[in-house]
């Protein structure tokens, strides 16, 4: 049986040639993401900013326009409706009301009275501002702790330079994910935080595979220039990296297009994260090793070596 390869065997692509261009591009994108975050801000969902969430099911296909018109006439402030899952399922979001818990309950009762018995109430929730603030703090803490733990793991498994490179790639992926959510105004909720943590795990896994090949080649080729060695390592894992990314994207594409509105934000974040995570593993995590005085002595003790270079020589600068 003949195997189909996305990447030809024995590729010799000079990735390190583009490391400076990639670094400038990434810095520009990170700066744009930071600017969007501090100027436009994120469209925080009800999980973070507080409010009323109602999930209803109608007898037949929901008339979103009529339901919106009915609820807008109640003077409850911002009201958002969206169909998700089946045509009969509608998600209603109502902005947080004044008067604390009693105010929220009054608004819920008012909305139910207006909608009447024509809908089936499947879920009704209220998230207060204090809980929303705590969730934002918990989400940020979870991401930072995950990155710190990954830094320690990579440091002990390889060298500290590898840990710094891996975390730099993770920060790059997280920053660009937040930036695209701010740019597009997509809802940022708890599922998005879960997606960011999943992206971090996916990206670090991809990076570790390449780093493991780098370490293997450092032991094997003592005399090869670092640029050539890094190119060799990336090319050696390129087929595996692209196969993993493509198959993951196929699954995520199915979730995005057929999974409904409830998980659409999560799916989009994951799709974006897989793309930038694959990019950062190749063009951020590995090239950073050139600038961090990577020591070979601790990695090549007692190993057989081959000094024949592979690929075209590249400048170290």
- Domain of 65: which CATH number? 3.30.70.3400
- Clarify whether residues 68 and 24 are in a common domain: no
pLDDT confidence of residue 129: 63
pLDDT confidence of residue 303: 43
Out of 127, 159, 194, a domain closes at: 127
- CA torsion, points 166, 171, 176, 178, in degrees to nearest 10? 140
- Tell me the per-residue pLDDT of 177-229, one tens digit each, with 9 for 90 and over: 999 999 998 888 888 888 888 888 888 888 888 888 988 888 888 888 888 99
- Clarify whether residues 30 and 93 are in a common domain: no
- Clarify whether residues 122 and 190 are in a common domain: no
pTM of this structure: 0.75
125: how many CB neighbours lie within 10 A of its CB?
13
- Clarify whether residues 206 and 142 are in a common domain: yes
Closest CA to 311 of 230, 249, 210, 248: 230
- Clarify whether residues 151 and 108 are in a common domain: no
Spatial CB neighbours of 231, under 8 Å, sequence gap ≥ 6: 12, 13, 14, 15, 16, 311, 314
Read off the CATH number of the domain in which 258 is found: 1.20.1640.10
- Clarify whether residues 244 and 147 are in a common domain: yes
- Clarify whether residues 106 and 226 are in a common domain: no
- Tell me the per-residue pLDDT of 105-129, one tens digit each, with 9 for 90 and over: 888 888 888 888 878 888 888 876 6
Identify the domain containing residue 218 by its residue range: 15-43+132-299
Q: Give me the mean pLDDT over the 163-171 stretch.
A: 88
77: how many CB neighbours lie within 10 A of its CB?
13
Specify if 8 maps to a domain.
no
Out of 103, 127, 151, a domain closes at: 127
- Tell me the per-residue pLDDT of 243-272, one tens digit each, with 9 for 90 and over: 889 999 999 999 898 876 668 888 999 999
Which helix (H) or strand (E) element contains residue 39?
A: helix 19-39
- Clarify whether residues 291 and 143 are in a common domain: yes
- Clarify whether residues 146 and 234 are in a common domain: yes
Specify if 143 maps to a domain.
yes
Under a CB-based contact definition with an 8 Å cutoff, are residues 80 and 155 in contact? Answer: no
Specify if 60 maps to a domain.
yes
- Clarify whether residues 63 and 179 are in a common domain: no
- Clarify whether residues 22 and 156 are in a common domain: yes
Query: Among the listed ranges 11-15, 142-146, 202-206, 305-309, which one has the minimum average pLDDT value?
Result: 305-309
- Clarify whether residues 123 and 138 are in a common domain: no
- Tell me the per-residue pLDDT of 271-311, one tens digit each, with 9 for 90 and over: 999 999 999 999 999 999 888 877 665 554 444 444 444 44
pLDDT confidence of residue 65: 84
Total domains in the chain come to 2
Q: How far is CA 198 from CA 43, 72, 83, 95, 99, in A?
A: 21, 38, 26, 30, 38
Q: How far is CA 129 from CA 95, 97, 99, 291, in A?
A: 11, 11, 12, 45
């Amino acid at each position: 049986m003949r195997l189909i390869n996305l990447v030809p065997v024995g590729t010799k692509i000079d990735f390190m040639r583009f490391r400076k261009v990639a670094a400038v591009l990434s810095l520009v994108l990170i700066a744009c993401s930071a600017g969007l975050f501090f100027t436009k801000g994120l469209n925080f969902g009800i999980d973070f900013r507080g409010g009323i969430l109602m999930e209803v099911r109608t007898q037949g296909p929901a008339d979103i326009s009529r339901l919106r018109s009915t609820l807008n006439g109640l003077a409850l402030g911002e009201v958002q409706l969206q169909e998700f899952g089946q045509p009969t399922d509608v998600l209603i979001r109502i902005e947080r009301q004044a008067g604390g818990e009693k105010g929220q309950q009054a608004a819920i009762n008012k909305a139910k009275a207006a909608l009447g018995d024509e809908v089936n109430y499947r879920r009704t929730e209220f998230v207060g501002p204090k809980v929303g603030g705590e969730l934002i703090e918990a989400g940020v803490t979870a991401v930072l702790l995950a990155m710190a733990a990954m830094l320690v793991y990579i440091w002990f498994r390889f060298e500290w330079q590898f840990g710094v490179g891996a975390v730099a790639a993770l920060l790059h992926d997280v920053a660009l994910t937040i930036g695209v959510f701010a740019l597009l105004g997509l809802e940022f909720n708890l599922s998005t935080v879960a997606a960011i943590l999943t992206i971090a795990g996916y990206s670090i896994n991809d990076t570790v595979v390449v780093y493991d090949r780098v370490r293997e080649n450092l032991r094997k080729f003592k005399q090869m220039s670092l640029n050539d060695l890094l190119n060799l390592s990336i090319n050696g894992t390129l087929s595996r990296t692209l196969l993993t990314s493509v198959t993951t994207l196929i699954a995520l594409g199915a979730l995005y297009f057929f999974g409904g509105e409830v998980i659409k934000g999560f799916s989009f974040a994951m799709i974006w994260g897989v793309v930038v995570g694959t990019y950062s593993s190749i063009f951020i995590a590995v090239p950073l090793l050139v600038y961090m005085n990577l020591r070979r002595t601790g990695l090549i003790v007692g190993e057989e070596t081959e000094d024949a270079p592979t690929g075209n020589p590249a400048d170290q600068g």
